[in-house]
Amino acid sequence: MDLAQAQPADSFPEDSPPSESALVLGTETIQIEQLRFPPGEGDFCAEAAHTLFVNLTSRPQPYLQKQDGKTHTALYRHGDMLITPANTPLFVRWEGAENCLQIQLPTSFLKRVAEETLGKDGDRLTLVPTFQSRNQQLEAIATLLMAEVQQRQPNGALYLDSLANVLAMQLLRNYGTTSAQSPTYEGGLPTYQLNRVLDYIDAGLVGEIKLADLAGLLGMSPFHFGRMFKQSTGISPHQYVIQQRLERAQHLLKNSDRAIIDIALDCGFTSHSHLSKQFRKVIGMTPRNFRGQKT
C-alpha cells in the first residue's frame, strides 16, 4: 500500500468549507489526516472507523459540538481531544481557523485488538463518545503520528502499525465501554521463535515488513508480539528493522561502488534522502561521507 495515498474513512467534506491543506497518511490499521479549514461548521460520521480528533491550534479555539444526543461548548486548547466512535453522527462549529489531527482506527482493527490482546468480546467493547479530554499517552502518540504526516519520507507501515496498536490499547483502556487492562508479558520470545522472526526480517529487508506479518509467524496479536520482541532484543520491531537496513547499507557502501540510490532501494529505504536521513540520525554522517572514510 502507498502510505501517502491512503484515504481516511471520512472527514468534513460535505457541509464545511474546502480544506486549505490535506496531509494524509495511512495503512490498513490506521489513517491520519491533518485538517485545516477556515471558520465554519460541518457534519461528520464514519460508519466503519473510530475517530480521534486532536486540536492543533496555537491558541484556544471556540467549538460547539454535538454527538450522542449531547451538546458541548468550550474553548479547546492545543492537545485537547474529541473521541467519536464508529457510526456516531457528529456536528461541529468552529469560530476560528480549524487545525486538527484526525486519526481513525477501523472498527475491525479495534475489535481484533480487544479480542486478541484483552480477551474481550470485540462486539461489546467499543469506545465512549467523549468531549474535550486530555491524555498524556494519547497526546504523545498523536505527536509521533503528526511528525509522520509532516515528513515526506515516512518511517513506513511497520512503524505506523506499531503506533496503531499502542493507540488502540490506550483508547480501549481509557475510553472503552467496559474496563480493559492490558496483560503483562514476561520473559520475551523463546530463542527458536525469535530466530524465526529475525530470519524473516533479514530475508525481507528490501520490501515492506508489516507488524501483523511478523506477529502472524508466531500466531500472536501484534501488540503481544511487539512487547515480547522488545523484551527479547531491547528495541522495538521497527527499530530493529531500521538497524538491520542500515547495517546492510554500510556493508554495501564499503564493499561496492554501486550508486547510493540503488543501495538505498535494495536495503528497503524509499529514496536516497530517506537513507541519508536515517544515516545522519543513527550514524552521525551522510552515506557519502561514510563511504569516503578510510578503512
How much is the pLDDT for 171?
92
User: Is residue 109 domain-resident?
Assistant: yes
Whether 268 and 201 share a structural domain: no
Whether 47 and 80 share a structural domain: yes
pLDDT truncated to tens, each residue of the chain (295 aa)?
A: 344 444 444 555 444 444 444 567 888 899 999 999 999 999 999 999 999 999 999 888 899 999 999 999 999 999 999 999 999 999 999 998 999 999 999 999 998 888 877 666 656 678 999 999 999 889 999 998 888 887 755 668 888 899 999 999 889 888 987 655 555 555 688 888 888 999 999 998 888 888 889 989 998 888 888 888 888 888 888 888 988 889 899 989 988 989 999 998 898 888 888 888 888 888 888 898 888 875 5
Q: Tell me which residue of 108, 121, 113 sits closest to 171, measured CA to CA.
A: 113
How much is the pLDDT for 231?
85
How much is the pLDDT for 1?
37
Whether 34 and 147 share a structural domain: yes
Q: Helix 136-150 vs helix 157-175: angle between axes, to the nearest 10 degrees?
A: 150
User: Is residue 277 domain-resident?
Assistant: yes
Q: Which amino acid is at 71?
A: T
Q: What is the CATH number of the domain that holds 268?
A: 1.10.10.60
How much is the pLDDT for 15?
44
The whole-angstrom separation of Cα 183 and Cα 119 is 9
Whether 104 and 12 share a structural domain: yes
Whether 210 and 284 share a structural domain: no
User: Is residue 55 domain-resident?
Assistant: yes
Whether 150 and 264 share a structural domain: no
Neighbour-count burial for 131-166, b at 16+ CB within 10 Å, e otherwise = bbeebeebeebbeebbebbeeebbbbbbbbbbbbbb
How much is the pLDDT for 290?
87
How much is the pLDDT for 217?
92
Whether 139 and 229 share a structural domain: no
How much is the pLDDT for 232?
84
Whether 215 and 250 share a structural domain: no
How much is the pLDDT for 7?
43
How much is the pLDDT for 14?
44
Give the domain range for residue 220.
191-234
How much is the pLDDT for 55?
94
How much is the pLDDT for 12?
52
C-alpha cell at 83: 473521541
User: Is residue 159 domain-resident?
Assistant: no
Whether 199 and 143 share a structural domain: no
Whether 132 and 198 share a structural domain: no
Whether 148 and 227 share a structural domain: no
User: Is residue 179 domain-resident?
Assistant: no
Structural domains counted in the chain? 3
How much is the pLDDT for 289?
87
CA dihedral 119, 124, 128, 134 (to 10 degrees): 10
- Final residue in a domain of this structure, among 102, 125, 154: 154
Do 129 and 82 contact (CB within 8 A), yes or no?
no
